[in-house]
Amino acid sequence: MINKKVKVLNSGFVQLVDLMPSSSNGADLAIVDAARLSYKSSSKGEEQDKKLIFHLMKNNHTSPFEQVEFKFLVRLPSMVMAQWVRHRTGSYSISSGRYTAFTKDDFYIPDDCRCKSDLTTDLLQGGLIETYGRGLAMYEGALENNVPKELARLFLPGFAMYYTMYYKTDAHNLMNFLRQRMAKNAQWEIQQYAKVIYEDFFKPSLPWTAEAFEKFKLKNWPI
């Protein structure tokens, strides 16, 4: 599971870089252990342990879930990043357009225009590719003329540019992120990232917690 990487959108991905604790089902047991510390006991067997996780989730005993930590490497368009970093309980480290030059592979192109008119995906994509091409040419021309990267990037479409970031958070706050960003009213693009985090990483790492989360915290799941 560690280092598994899943593609998202045209050029993005989510990769699990680290998980504490890392052993299979050990993460659920870390939550059980943290909760039982109050009573100076630990695991009482699968059935009782799973029941305890459901009790914690149902009654909002949140702190034991903070004992599990996830660290992801994420490549994402800046418009998605702007929404993601509003989650203040995560720790972030983000690539810099001041120090690293953008290339033709760093632009987000949607697969579908989600149009409510006659505009087609082909037209939207065509328009974007043309605009991106012009911006990239201006950007590269500016760099050739020794304009610093921090200013040359003004020629690029800010929302479309891919960045890479580390995102580290605990299971409790990750569930808050997932609940908000897998929901139908979240922007489709961030939903794709949240669903990959949930299905490919969270669920296999914390199967009992995920089951309790779906039962008590996720309305109308699966969506």
Ligand X SMILES: Cc1cc2nc3c(=O)[nH]c(=O)nc-3n(C[C@H](O)[C@H](O)[C@H](O)COP(=O)(O)OP(=O)(O)OC[C@H]3O[C@@H](n4cnc5c(N)ncnc54)[C@H](O)[C@@H]3O)c2cc1C
Binding mask 144-183 for ligand X (x = CB under 6 A): -----------------------------x--x---x---
Which range, of 42-50, 87-95, 133-141, 205-213, touches ligand X by CB under 6 A? 87-95
**Sheet order of strands, 91-94 included:** 5-8, 12-20, 69-77, 162-170, 91-94
Cα(205)–Cα(207) distance, rounded to whole angstroms?
6
Enclosing H/E stretch for 14 = strand 12-20
When the beta carbons of 87 and 168 are compared against ligand X, the nearer one is 87
Which member of 23, 89, 91, 131 binds ligand X (CB under 6 A)?
89
Binding mask 44-83 for ligand X (x = CB under 6 A): ----------------------------------------
When the beta carbons of 115 and 188 are compared against ligand X, the nearer one is 188
When the beta carbons of 77 and 135 are compared against ligand X, the nearer one is 77
Enclosing H/E stretch for 28 = helix 26-36
Concatenated DSSP letters of 42-78: ----HHHHHHHHHHHHHTT--GGGGG-EEEEEEEEEH
Does 192 bind ligand X (CB under 6 A)? Our answer is no
Cα(24)–Cα(197) distance, rounded to whole angstroms?
17
Which member of 88, 104, 116, 219 binds ligand X (CB under 6 A)?
88
Cβ atoms of 14 and 6 within 8 Å: the answer is yes
| Size of interface with ligand X, in residues (CB under 6 A) | 9
Which member of 5, 61, 71, 87 binds ligand X (CB under 6 A)?
87
User: Which residues does the annotation mark as catalytic?
Assistant: 181
When the beta carbons of 128 and 186 are compared against ligand X, the nearer one is 186
Hey, what are 143's tokens?
């760099």
AA identity, residue 124: L
Tell me how far, at minimum, the Cβ of 180 lies from ligand X, in Å.
4
Residue whose tokens read 């990267």: 149
Torsion of CA 48, 49, 51, 56, to 10 degrees: 140
* Residues found near ligand X in the complex (CB under 6 A): 86-89, 173, 176, 180, 185-186
